[in-house]
Structure 1
């Protein structure tokens, strides 16, 4: 059996029993990410009622008729806001589209923000009561939790604890409620989400309603990672991998179709993709460059430039 992906108690970082315990958490979290690029986070402080309320409005939206949902699809918008229909997103290099439909909630920013040209206003479905309030409450809660995880990771690679704070405070982060419809045929070649790596700094996945997430180990094995109900799965994305010169790997993962009758059930999940501010320059951190790990990326790139490059690869642009 392959080793298990660790699940850690983040209270040891936010409310530590001692400075030594806080440092031990930083060490354990850093080790988990160096090995797996994934970890579970429990005692995260996000109320189950907030999560349940958000899932409730998301499920209500996906249950609407197709013609209503498609009114919220922004043609040419790269899926940045609103609805993306079934059969669009395709994992990089995959032959078949993913078996999912999804919605995007972005950061609420001022109309005169310097980022407005790349961070459009949110769309909110008028057909679902409470969608905006409950959806954005979850967005904010995951944004705060993500900031805590980044603070611990910064300490692990000898940066100040607050290093990420002013680089993500206007991050182009996305909350993505996903609906994987029931699978009704036994011979389809598609999987619910093809093997891929995430684009952003870190991803926080809250309350996947069914098994299916698998993580590829360094030995090439697919390791199932079904978390407990009170655990949020947090993984490294390609932007943080690039920034840290692969000290933190962005690990390949997928969502496979479950066997038998389980495949006839819908699956819902809600990842939060935490991004830096659009003009943040992704440039390899000097502290991560060593004789054994020379810089892999001599050319820096802005977060927005990198995002657009990758969205084209997965057929969202």
Structure 2
């Protein structure tokens, strides 16, 4: 495998072959590029259009959807709120979260999974993002089944672990970058919290992953493909056999600095009450269990939200 180029995989491939290939890509990069995922292209196009319209709304209107005390779980999070763990400057971004709506009385319907907030404008927002969330959920489940096989688990191993999971679709806007941003960048170097992230490719470049040799590699999926990366929860579960790779969104140079960048990651999460237990096949004499103490997925999430400034 060329360690300077991410391979482009097809989800339409024979399942065992795809399991082998995505496992190899994850072990080498922590990332993979996947085409033939089956998400409707018109649904995706409508989502991009509505994302741009949402963030073009007046600041006061957007802030009316900011939910205090919710750690950004749903609705709007203003510009320069989130900060990468260990960073000195907040990120140059604003975002909106769409999550899983649980029925009334569901035991997981807590402050970590509140009801969705749907904006009055732009028109048709809910009608697009509810089905898009469901499609990401579907594709993510298939990807996890292939990862399970790669790890020597049964294909449906993750199904109960992610049932009613706290997954979030994030709509991101990185405004044009001015000359007075100091040391801030669009997204500081970080790792994702969740199991896996599915990311629709953005029109504007900037996403980079930190390679094992210390260099930054651009991540540019072909049109219609998704970027998939390992999050810290899967890294923990696999005892770092599948690594959660540091990545960032750098600031554009020249004329591109005057353009907004939009991005749409789906953070696939475990059930809030899932308890971590390191997979035994990922423990060996050479790789002893790093996490002998169990913790729930929600406790882990809350700890990380404090680190990135979304929870006080």
* Interval containing the TM-score (normalised by the shorter chain): over 0.9
Structure 2 CA distance, aligned partners of 1:295 and 1:249?
Answer: 15
Pick from 71, 74, 85: which aligns with 1:78? 71
Q: 1:2–1:223: 8 Å Cα contact kept in structure 2?
A: no
Q: Deviations over 1:114-153 (max 9, x none)?
A: 0111310000001221111101111111111100110000
Give matches, 1:262-301, under 5 Å.
262-301=256-295
Match of 1:307 in 2: 301
Q: Deviations over 1:84-110 (max 9, x none)?
A: 000100000000000000000000110
Q: CA RMSD in A?
A: 1.1
How far the C-alpha of 1:225 sits from its partner, in A, is: 0.8
Pick from 29, 46, 50: which aligns with 2:43? 50
Structure 2 CA distance, aligned partners of 1:61 and 1:161?
Answer: 38
Structure 1 CA distance, aligned partners of 2:253 and 2:204?
Answer: 12
Structure 2 CA distance, aligned partners of 1:10 and 1:188?
Answer: 42
Match of 1:135 in 2: 129
Structure 2 CA distance, aligned partners of 1:166 and 1:11?
Answer: 24
Q: 1:257–1:263: 8 Å Cα contact kept in structure 2?
A: yes
1:207 counterpart = 2:201:
yes
Could you say what secondary structure the match of 2:64 adopts? helix
TM-score, normalisation: structure 1: 0.95
Pick from 168, 171, 184: which aligns with 1:174? 168
Could you say what secondary structure the match of 1:8 adopts? strand
How far the C-alpha of 1:188 sits from its partner, in A, is: 2.8
Structure 2 CA distance, aligned partners of 1:299 and 1:85?
Answer: 36
Gaps of 5+ in 2: none
Structure 1 CA distance, aligned partners of 2:137 and 2:24?
Answer: 23
1:231 counterpart = 2:225:
yes
Q: 1:209–1:268: 8 Å Cα contact kept in structure 2?
A: yes
| Matched residues, number | 309
Match of 2:9 in 1: 8
Match of 1:260 in 2: 254
Structure 1 CA distance, aligned partners of 2:70 and 2:86?
Answer: 22
Name which of structure 1's ranges 44-53 and 1-10 shifts more when overlaid on structure 2. 1-10
Q: 1:57–1:135: 8 Å Cα contact kept in structure 2?
A: no
TM-score, normalisation: structure 2: 0.97
Q: 1:214–1:224: 8 Å Cα contact kept in structure 2?
A: yes
Q: 1:86–1:101: 8 Å Cα contact kept in structure 2?
A: yes
Displaced runs of 4 or more, over 6 A: none
Pick from 27, 31, 49: which aligns with 2:20? 27
Q: 2:201–2:220: 8 Å Cα contact kept in structure 1?
A: no
Q: 2:167–2:270: 8 Å Cα contact kept in structure 1?
A: yes
Could you say what secondary structure the match of 1:305 adopts? helix
